[in-house]
Amino acid sequence: MQHITDIQPLSAGSYPVFYGSKVAPKLVQLWRPEWRRAALIADLTTERLFGRQLQGALENNGIDVLALSFEPGEQHKTRETKARLEDAMLAAGLDRSSCVVAVGGGIPLDLGGFIAATYMRGIAHVNVATTLLAQVDAAIGGKTAVNTARGKNLLGAFHHPRAVLLDTGALDLLPAVELKNGLAEAIKHAMLADPALFERLEGWAAKRSSDKPPDEIVARCVEIKAEVVAADDRDTGKRHILNFGHTVGHAIEHGTAHQTPHGHAVAIGMVVEARLAARAGWLTETAGLRLEALLNTLGLPTRPPCSFAEAAPGLAHDKKTTAGVIYCAIPTDLGVTEALGDGPGGWSRATSLDQIEKAWEAQA
């Protein structure tokens, strides 16, 4: 596997990010002598496709592995699932010298990382990302969480992994919907921080033969995420920019009972928030139109799949809502985001239900 970069958070030690197809040998190579046992956490799909091979590689090298799995889907990223897996770890006698290996997309990585953050008050974990969305975003930065009935990712912790392995071979097995989920996050990174990357995505989208992006696009997205996390790993300032599209996107997920995949919801959320920003004079209309055109070219949705009334409760309970005020992270130009906001930390802007509804209805 190739080394992309090292994540250097202020509150934890640095850790490497590798990408390639030979994940099992790299995991064994990275394994530390002090990690006496492993808890391999995956959903049922990723356990079957990837987890068993990783388990075998570790066991062949004398490492005792407890394999744990759960039903796939956002509806299972809950406190109840977390408690069941933790109880299994306790029953198996895993102690503080254990290491969690979280395998899969954003859901297993969020859940596995949160378990690592709280088990015995914190143990080591390694992320093995097998979806494009996880590779460009969720696997990096130490955010872990579970969902509740009131909203997404409302309970969690910051707990950085010891290493991140991006399985590029796994992308060949992903259905188109999952690849598009990741492409939405890649576009988000480009909109926020790299106009050249945005132009590259435009050029690739027009000529692509599949929805799997070139490795160099994935690598650049990782670098962007790493730069933001290095500046603000506790999500108190600049890291807020990574929420572009997520205020509305999470509300769409809530309004459709998680029937809208995360990346698709973020794509729609970016378009609605860009329209809101254009109306407020925060972002040029041209930037918003190019964003929408790129999403359309890649087959991502740009229109809300539910009514505003169905989504609005999700806005009220979003973790970015503070003292009753809704905040959106908005780029200031195509590929540029500046600290011009009035939200906590200065990197997001105060909005209102009325502003969001007007932008929403313009896209409906």
Domain boundary among 124, 149, 173: 173
CA distances from 235 to 100, 149, 247 (A): 24, 23, 15
Closest CA to 124 of 260, 33, 191, 205: 33
pLDDT of residue 243: 96
On whether both 198 and 144 belong to a single domain, the answer is no
DSSP assignment, residue 214?
Answer: P
**Which residue blocks in 77-127 are alpha helix, DSSP H?**
79-91, 106-118
On whether both 166 and 253 belong to a single domain, the answer is no
Q: How far apart are CA 167 and CA 22, in angstroms?
A: 8
Three-state DSSP class for residue 98: strand
Domain boundary among 173, 207, 242: 173
Angle between helix axes 308-316 and 246-255 (nearest 10 degrees) is 120
pLDDT above 90 (res 345): no
pLDDT of residue 216: 95
Q: What is the rounded average pLDDT of the residues 250-258?
A: 95
Write out pLDDT tens, residues 39-64. 999 999 999 999 999 999 999 999 99
CA angle 185–186–190, rounded 5-degree value: 115
pLDDT of residue 33: 96
Residues pairing with 165 in the sheet: 18, 128
On whether both 151 and 250 belong to a single domain, the answer is no
Strands 326-328 and 143-148: unpaired
On whether both 336 and 257 belong to a single domain, the answer is yes
State both tokens at 356: 């969001």
On whether both 212 and 284 belong to a single domain, the answer is yes
Domain boundary among 144, 173, 202: 173
pLDDT above 80 (res 364): no
Q: Residue 185 — pLDDT band, cuts 50, 70, 90?
A: very high
On whether both 249 and 168 belong to a single domain, the answer is no
Strands 349-351 and 326-328: antiparallel
Q: What is the rounded average pLDDT of the residues 216-220?
A: 96
Count of residues for the chain? Answer: 364
Instruction: State the total domains in the chain.
Output: 2
Closest CA to 362 of 296, 292, 294: 292
Domain containing 182 equals 176-363
Q: How far apart are CA 188 and CA 266, in angstroms?
A: 9
